[in-house]
Structure 1
Amino acid sequence: MTLSAGDWVEVRSKEEILATLDANGRLEGLPFMPQMFKWCGQRFQVYKRAHKTCDTVTGYNTGEWLGRRLPNAVHLELRCDGEAYGGCQAACLIFWKEAWLSPVDPAQAAAAGRDHAAARQPSGGCTARDVWDATKSSDQAPGKGPRYACQATELPSYTQPLKWWDARQYAEDIASGNVSAGKMFRGLLYFAYVGATMARRPRLGRPARWIYDRFQSLWGGVPFPRRRGDLATDKDAPIAHLGLQPGDLVRVRPHKDILATIDKQTNNRGMGFDAEMVPYCGKVFRVRTRVEKFIDERTGYIRRMKTPAVILDGVYCQSRYSENRLFCPRGIFAWWREVWLEKVPATAIGTPPSHEAVELPRRAAG
């Protein structure tokens, strides 16, 4: 079975899924997390095929967020609620093995049934209790609190390295419906332009960015997304306390305003402003949640934010400008400092859908 974006599937029963798992609650190294049981028997549409992903574990240490290959998996539009993981608020998109799903299309169902029967063979007699026990790492350190093991922390164990030049991944992006041919062309064109100008000829950086911005402005496109901040160090970066709560409307400040709050490494007091966040500048979104604690994917321990960040509905990484992991389908939520946002009165606009951006007219100067 090879599912594509837009296919309808039904999550298999609890008993069927347990039969595919080993004694550690995993299938081919991928953990099945306890909160996923609540969706058994329900039907969902495939969001994207998860044939590749980004390395958010070892990437922190090397400074290179390389791509990883993942076989026989998809994303549904279902995110982790953190219930089994100390209340982690990162809301990661969940990976689903195809063996845990049954196609609704009768033409695919017969083949999927055979694949599922084969997947049951390596079962290690897993129980629901085993799945819950597997949320804690076997390597616990006294006095440091629970060390968790989830799909995010265990990513290197169920994926393999994927080179950016492996053209097969881009062909699969298009064939699976993850990315349109036009969007793929624009993404490759962006990297070709950057490589031919700024990467190989640094002196062309400023004029190349100027040309890029003027060209994009012809149809209201996104300005060049990779710019350094104005601050020499992020230790004195400004902080704002807007008291944002879930449901509040905010406008993302213009990119030039955000550049004044970050350093040359694009950090604001340790939190990065990524190029993938630039397309959202100037648009209005609804606050989804405040992020006060999360699991450090490198260590498995809960970390608490000194200054809380916020997550906005529908605002996630699209991997349009990300070296080595172009069009990664993982959809990681962007985290926002409140200084990068401005609160919008609810009376200033009709209630927008929670998952869409809404353009507001800019206020006149003065």
Structure 2
Amino acid sequence: MKKPFDPVALNTAVENVHRAGMPGLFAEVRDGDQVWRGAAGVADAVTGRPVTADLRHRVGSVTKTFTAAAVLQQVESGRIGLDSPIGRYLPKLVPGERGDAITVRMLINHTSGLAEYLPYAYPSLKAFPALADTGPQSLDDHRLTRFHPTELIEMGVTAPATGAPGGTPGLYSNTNYLLLGQLLEQVTGTTAEQYITRNVIERAGLRDTGFPTGPHVDGPHSQMYEAWFGMIDPPRDYSVYDMSWVGPAASLISTVTDVNRFFGLLLAGEIVGPSSLARMQRTVPIVSQEGKIIEYGLGLHPMEAMEAPGQETYWGHGGTVWGAGSLAMIRADGKRQLTVAVNLQRWNRLDSAGRPQPHPIDDALAAFYRVAMYG
């Protein structure tokens, strides 16, 4: 009988990503009861310590799916209205007409029109996402900075609006998810991190997933190398970093196994109910952080790179923080899954117009995804 996937081909494909320039990566592919875990390269470029598939990792904006699920649990319980204005819950953070016009749903699917706070918190990233003239100095300046979410939210709320509330295409903005964190705190009486830990992470039985309590990653993990489009050469290790700059938007630490388990349970209707899952999969066009128009639901989106005529749709989320990246995707029927973690970010150099130039890593990763999801 033909196996759903080929471990030899997967091992070759993951090695090819390392050969293309990725210091280290590790992944897990699942199809029903069959599981493949693999890794290639180094977790530490100085010592040569190898990566292994069980390492903990900063998963970046994959956190948003956890946060969206937590909010939808509160929608199911009647404590939050999905189409209620955010000003009803947080009038001081989003005051006046905007607070009346922006709904909870608009925050989750990035159609609020609220700007990204990141360029204001990190002054040398002012041109974000048009990064041709920016430098990485702010990354070092803020390694141990402890931000309070309300000061970051204020930066995004007071910045010029990116569009009318509910208008499309929306614009991907971490400001939305910091507000969702404050919303969870308002209605549950506990921090968003505590609520998500109890009601999403523990409910899913994830043993190696949690929010950081300081700048370090607890447990075995890789170093995390940031190239900042070739402006940091050699890439610098940012594995020690205070993640209060993203909080419930992107600070989660997990493993490839735990992330796969989470998405498997989510699509099985075991984290939120079937009607909430259907809402998560109802998409609108938004502009991604890379400047591309993508379809986005409620903390979940179809992985367009994996779609092809006559082939299945995959749902998931990607994530990036300084030096660390991850991607999770799951077939609509919940069976075939991939989660991959990489320990280098922004490896593409920029052309004179600030556009990322092609890099062999991009093609090698795309080939790995194809082998993982289609064989």
TM bucket normalised to smaller: under 0.3
Task: Identify, as 1 or 2, the structure richer in strand.
Answer: 1
Tell me the TM-score normalised to structure 1 length. Answer: 0.26
**Bigger Rg over Cα:** 1
TM-score (normalised: structure 2): 0.25
